[in-house]
Amino acid sequence: MYSVSSNISEASRPFLTWQRIIDWSQEHYRVRSFAKDEKIPARPGLLYLVQRGAVRLVGSAQVNATSIAARTVNVTPEEAFLGFVGAGQPFEIVAQSPFTLQSYAHVDQTSVLWMYWHDLDNWPHFRREVLDAFRYQHQRKLLWLSTLGQRRTIDRLLGFLTLLIEEFGEPSENGYCLPFPLTHAQIGSAIGSTRVTVTRLMGKLRQKGMICTQGDNLICIPTDSVLSKG
Amino acid sequence: MYSVSSNISEASRPFLTWQRIIDWSQEHYRVRSFAKDEKIPARPGLLYLVQRGAVRLVGSAQVNATSIAARTVNVTPEEAFLGFVGAGQPFEIVAQSPFTLQSYAHVDQTSVLWMYWHDLDNWPHFRREVLDAFRYQHQRKLLWLSTLGQRRTIDRLLGFLTLLIEEFGEPSENGYCLPFPLTHAQIGSAIGSTRVTVTRLMGKLRQKGMICTQGDNLICIPTDSVLSKG
């Protein structure tokens, strides 16, 4: 499991030179804290690193099959939840039509630092770690696409939750739990469904004992469920 | 547009040291040709490069919301089309539950070479290009996830086709066309829908002039359509 808790020990940081990077970003005023759901103004060509908290990636469609109508009535574009970037992980936003990507702080006090790619010339080993992290994220997204190809919404929902908790979940008395809340609307936006349908299907999965919730509406997968059968 | 045609000029190869890598792989018997739809036996820990043709990535779910029933009756797992890897591009398969990834030759005479990651120690510059290619592929998959979050199947379908053709399309008299066929079942498996629904919605998009087909059932996006409005 990939932990995103803020009190991760230095030894388990994905990046060995992490402390030096943090010092550098503070010296150069390249670090900033964000409140929950605040937009992180990420620009193409820059590399971002999550120092603390978690970042939520969101995509929105600029075109759809009825785009002309949608444009004239000024409909809000559909936003899709694309995943989290946890502490110690890099992200980047490359502007590309016909979709745009955005990043938001998912929890309070999310701290992000940034640099140009050529700043990494000073830290070739660190650059490789960043690139390996993107390689890892790419593999995760392929698994994510695997579940989104499933026809039944309940299968997409369970696959999606399983992958998220496999990556970000933390052990608890109820199994493995997501360390931060995720709304049913956000889940729906990831799996091509609606808030209402997600709420209904989450109820079904809970009845079957395939998921449970804990405390402040955190989603968990019981230890004896799918994760442990992998 | 990223071309995957086999007669790409050497100058436009994504990798500068490409010819040296090809020579090396032939000397070390690390290259093999595959027939259309033949499975490429890719193993975790190895890096694969498409020399010619195109590779199709496929994911399959090992669990779903009714997995116990599915196991007993030995149902074929749902396979999802996860995209192409074109000539000059790298891919890797990292085994991860609860989904598995597989690779197939998408066209005849697809040629693939492979190496261990440590083989790249001899070519540090090339390693960086490979890692940058994965970074690029990751960004493309985020866009792909953006369209799969759309609620209406016709929007997911149009977004999916637009992204594929933006990346792999080649100019033709009808606009930009995918250089190889893709079945409606394969499209359905990518967007969480069925062959029947895809066929119906493709008809709708064709009627609206948002897509067209050419020759051997190749899917095209007319030049005056979404791609050029990006």
Q: Which of the residues A130, A135, A200 would you substitute to probe the B interface, choosing the one with the greatest number of B C-beta atoms within 10 Å?
A: A135
**Residue-level pLDDT at A124:** 86
Provide φ and ψ at A218, rounded to 5°.
Answer: -85, 135
* Contact across the interface for B59 and A128, Cβ inside 8 Å: no
Do residues B51 and B6 lie in contact, with contact meaning Cβ atoms separated by under 8 Å?
no
* Contact across the interface for A148 and B192, Cβ inside 8 Å: yes
pLDDT at A131 over 70: yes
Facing residues of A54 across strands? A86
**Residue-level pLDDT at B34:** 98
Q: E strands, chain A, where?
A: 31-34, 39-40, 46-52, 54-61, 79-86, 90-91, 99-105, 110-116, 170-172, 175-177, 212-214, 218-221
Q: Which residues contact A37 (CB under 8 A, 6 or more apart)?
A: A104, A105, A106
Fold held by B152-230? Arc Repressor Mutant, subunit A (1.10.10)
**What whole-number distance in Å separates Cα of residue A97 and Cα of residue B180?**
23
Half-sphere exposure at residue B53, Cβ-oriented, CA atoms within 13 angstroms: 21
Q: How far is CA B194 from CA A121, B58, B151, in A?
A: 48, 16, 15
**Residue-level pLDDT at B72:** 44
Q: Is A121 left (phi over 0), alpha (psi -120 to 50) or beta?
A: alpha
Residues of B within 8 A of A230 (CB-CB) are: 62, 97-98
Q: Which of the residues A2, A57, A148 would you substitute to probe the B interface, choosing the one with the greatest number of B C-beta atoms within 10 Å?
A: A148
**Residue-level pLDDT at A19:** 86
The encoded tokens of residue A1 equal: 């499991």
Q: Range with the lowest mean pLDDT among A1-10, A49-58, B13-22?
A: A1-10
- Per-residue pLDDT of chain B in tens (230 residues, 90 and over written 9): 443 333 334 344 455 678 889 999 999 999 999 999 999 999 998 999 999 999 999 999 876 776 544 444 455 678 999 999 999 999 999 867 788 999 999 999 999 999 999 999 988 889 989 999 999 999 999 999 999 999 999 999 999 999 999 999 999 988 999 999 999 999 999 999 999 999 999 999 999 999 999 887 899 999 876 554 44
Sheet holding B79-86, edge to edge: B39-40, B99-105, B54-61, B79-86
**Residue-level pLDDT at B208:** 94
Task: Tell me which of 1.10.10.10, 3.30.930.10, 3.60.10.10, 1.10.10.60 is the CATH number of domain A151-230.
Answer: 1.10.10.10
Please give the average per-residue pLDDT across A130-147, as a whole number: 95
Please give the average per-residue pLDDT across A49-54, as a whole number: 97
3-state secondary structure of B194: coil
Cα-trace Rg, chain B: 18
Residue recorded with tokens 């540090």: B124
Q: How far is CA A183 from CA A3, A35, A186, B176, in A?
A: 21, 17, 5, 39
In chain B, where are the structural domains located?
1-148, 152-230
The gap from C-alpha A223 to its chain's centroid, in whole angstroms, comes to 22
How large a percentage of chain A has pLDDT more than 90? Answer: 70
Per-residue pLDDT band for A33 (boundaries 50, 70, 90) equals: very high
pLDDT at A213 over 80: yes
Give, to the nearest 10 degrees, the angle between helix A153-168 and helix A195-207: 80
The encoded tokens of residue B188 equal: 């359905």
**Could you tell me the CATH superfamily of domain A1-148?**
Jelly Rolls (2.60.120.10)
**Residue-level pLDDT at B176:** 95
pTM of the predicted structure, to 2 decimals: 0.89
Nearest to A78 among B64, B92, B149 (CB): B149
Please give the average per-residue pLDDT across A74-96, as a whole number: 86
